[in-house]
Structure 1
C-alpha cells in the first residue's frame, strides 16, 4: 500500500496488465538456453591453436609441390633447346633443314595429318621436287624466295608446253608448301601470301554421244570370262558415273542386290551409295555368276574385280582396257574412264535430272 501511495500510476498499470488476455499455447516461444562453458584452463589472449594433422600434411604437400615445380623449371632452363619453338632451336643451334627434309616433313603432314591419298602425295612430291630443282638450277634459296621467282617459274613451265591445268595445280601446291613452312617457323615469312594463282579457263568437258557409248559397250567379247568382266566394268562405269579408283576398290560386300546400289569409297575416304541402272545390274549379276568364278584364285580374297591372275584389277589396267576398246570402236579422240563419268552426268542432265541429284550421284562437294 505504501508503494501504491508513493507511485499513483502503478495501480493503473497493474489494472491494465490484469485485463490482458492470456497468451495461447501456439504463441509461446521456447526458452533458449545457453550451453555451459567448458571448464578448463583459461587461454591467454595471444594463444594460437595447434593445427590439425590434416592441415599440416596439406601444407607440406603444397610446399613440396612448389619445390618440385621450381626444380622442374630449373631442369627446363638447363635443357632449353628441347622446350623452345622450332625457330628458336634453329637459331640456337645454327642448323636449318634442307629443302628435301622440309619436303619430307610436309608430305608426312599431308599423309598422317590430313589423310590424303597415296596418289595425291605422289603428285605433291613430283611438283615440289621439280620446283626445288628449278630453284637450285637458278641459284635461288628457298628461304629467299620471292614472288618474282615464283612468277618466273610458272612462265618457264608454261612455255615448256605444260597444260594450263597442270600449271594451276603446281602453283597451288607451291603456295600450300610455303604456307606450311611459315606456319612451322621453317621460314620467317610466307613470300607467296599475296601471290595469285592462274585463273582457269571455263570450258565444257568432252563427252561421248549415246551412239558412241553403245558402240563402246558392244566391243568386249562376252564369250570369255575376261570379256564378261570388261562388259560389266564398262556398264558400271557409265551407268553409275564412278571414278576408276572407286571401281577397282570395290569388294564383294559392297554390292547390295536388293536396293540396286553399290557402296564406293570416294575422295577423302568418303563413302556413298551409287545407284545401278537396269543394264549395269544385269551385267554385274552375270559377271558374278559366270565371269568371276572362273578368275578366282587363292589370292583373290574379297575383291570384286579380278584380273586374269586372280588378283585385284588395277586402275592402270582399266584405263588401258577402255582405250583399247575405244580404238576398236573407232571412237575419235582420247577415250579414258573419266570420260564415261562426264558422259553419265551430261546424259542425266539432258534427260531432265536435277543438277543437285547428279551432284549427289557423282559424290561432288559442289555443283561446279
Structure 2
C-alpha cells in the first residue's frame, strides 16, 4: 500500500491508527477502512500545501468534505469518512499536536435505512437438506452452514472460532464479536450434530500432522479464510438455484428475521446477535413489517392496492 508523502501527516495517521487498534480494539476491516480514508485525506492536505496537521483549519476540512460530496460520495461513505477524521483530530488534540478538535462540530449525515435481504425459510430448509458429500470438506461445510444460520454468526466470528468455543456440556457456543465482546449463543440439535460429526470425522483429516486450535480448517490444517468461506457458500447457492449467492451475512439476517417471525423479542435477539445498541437490532422489525404488509396485501379481501 502506498504511503502518503509528508512525515508529519504519516506520523499523525500512524499514531492515530495505533491508538485505535490498541485502545479501541478496532477490527482489521475497520482499521483498513480508516487507513484508506485518512491516507487519502493526508494526500489531499499535501496537495493543498498543508505539510503539517497543525496548519489545518475547520474550513480546510469542510472544503475536503465538499469535494468528496461533489464527486458523488454516498451518505454511508461520507459518514465513515467523517468518523475517521473525528478519530484523527481527537487523537491529535489529545496528544497536543493541535490546540482544538476540528471535527467535533461536524454532523454525521443521515443514512437511509437499508432493509437486509434474507432467505426464505423454504430456501434455508433446502440449503440444510441438500446432500453434502461424506468428505472432510462436505462434513465441514454442513457444520458451517448450520452454525451461520443456527447461531447468527458474522463471517469473522465463525472464522475466529476455537476448539474451546464449543461448550458441549452446556450445548452453547462462546463467540467473540466486534471489539472482542463475548457472548454465549445456544446451539440447536442440528447444529450440534453437524459440529460433532465434523469434529469426530472431518477435522482430524483436514488437520493432518499439524497442530491448531482453530475450529474450522482447510485441508492441510490451515485456518479457513473469508475468501474460502465465500467461495463455498457461492457453490452451495448455485446448487439450490440462488442467482444472487449467499454471503455469510445473508444467513445472519435470515436467522434474526426468522426468529422475529416466530415470536422472539428484540432484547433477546440483541443478545443473540451481539449488538451493542438495541437500535441496530430494530432494523429487523422493518423487515417483519414489510412481510406483514405483503401478507395483508395478498390475503386480506380489501388489501389489494388500487391500480
TM-score category of the 2 structures, normalised to the smaller one: 0.7 to 0.9
The answer on 1:347 being equivalent to 2:252 is no
The answer on 1:201 being equivalent to 2:99 is no
Q: Residues of 1 paired with 2:240 and 2:49: CA distance?
A: 52
SS at match of 1:264: strand
Structure 1 residue ranges without an equivalent (≥5): 1-95
What's the CA shift for 1:277? 1.5
Q: Aligned residue for 2:169? A: 258
Q: Aligned residue for 1:70? A: none
CA RMSD of aligned residues (A): 2.3
In the superposition, the TM-score normalised over structure 1's length comes to 0.68
The answer on 1:100 being equivalent to 2:43 is no
User: Taking structure 1 as reference, are residues 188 and 220 closer, same or farther at Cα in structure 2, changes over 3 Å only?
Assistant: farther
Q: Residues of 2 paired with 1:185 and 1:131: CA distance?
A: 20
Q: Residues of 2 paired with 1:209 and 1:139: CA distance?
A: 55
Q: Aligned residue for 1:176? A: 87
Counterpart pick for 1:327 among 238, 261, 270? 238
Q: Residues of 2 paired with 1:136 and 1:219: CA distance?
A: 57
What's the CA shift for 1:352? 0.1
Quick check: 197-206 or 225-234, which moved more? Answer: 197-206
CA contact 1:220–1:227 (8 Å) conserved in 2: no
Deviation by residue 1:73-97 (Cα, 9 ceiling, x = unmatched)? xxxxxxxxxxxxxxxxxxxxxxx96
Deviation by residue 1:50-76 (Cα, 9 ceiling, x = unmatched)? xxxxxxxxxxxxxxxxxxxxxxxxxxx
Q: Residues of 1 paired with 2:143 and 2:267: CA distance?
A: 27
Deviation by residue 1:13-67 (Cα, 9 ceiling, x = unmatched)? xxxxxxxxxxxxxxxxxxxxxxxxxxxxxxxxxxxxxxxxxxxxxxxxxxxxxxx
Q: Residues of 2 paired with 1:262 and 1:247: CA distance?
A: 11
Structure 2 residue ranges without an equivalent (≥5): 1-5, 280-307
In the superposition, the TM-score normalised over structure 2's length comes to 0.81
CA contact 1:300–1:312 (8 Å) conserved in 2: no
Larger Rg: 1 or 2?
A: 1
Q: Aligned residue for 2:32? A: 122
What's the CA shift for 1:157? 3.4
User: Taking structure 1 as reference, are residues 97 and 225 closer, same or farther at Cα in structure 2, changes over 3 Å only?
Assistant: closer
Q: Aligned residue for 2:122? A: 211
SS at match of 1:201: coil
What's the CA shift for 1:245? 1.4
CA contact 1:260–1:276 (8 Å) conserved in 2: yes
Q: Aligned residue for 1:111? A: 21
SS at match of 1:274: strand
What's the CA shift for 1:158? 4.3
User: Taking structure 1 as reference, are residues 245 and 367 closer, same or farther at Cα in structure 2, changes over 3 Å only?
Assistant: same
Q: Aligned residue for 1:42? A: none
Q: Aligned residue for 2:276? A: 365
User: Taking structure 1 as reference, are residues 220 and 117 closer, same or farther at Cα in structure 2, changes over 3 Å only?
Assistant: farther
SS at match of 1:272: strand
CA contact 1:220–1:231 (8 Å) conserved in 2: no
SS at match of 1:143: helix
SS at match of 1:98: helix
1:287-298 correspondence to structure 2 within 5 Å? 287-298=198-209
Counterpart pick for 1:313 among 217, 224, 240? 224
Q: Aligned residue for 1:149? A: 60
What's the CA shift for 1:107? 1.7
CA contact 1:219–1:325 (8 Å) conserved in 2: no
Aligned residues between the structures = 273
SS at match of 1:273: strand
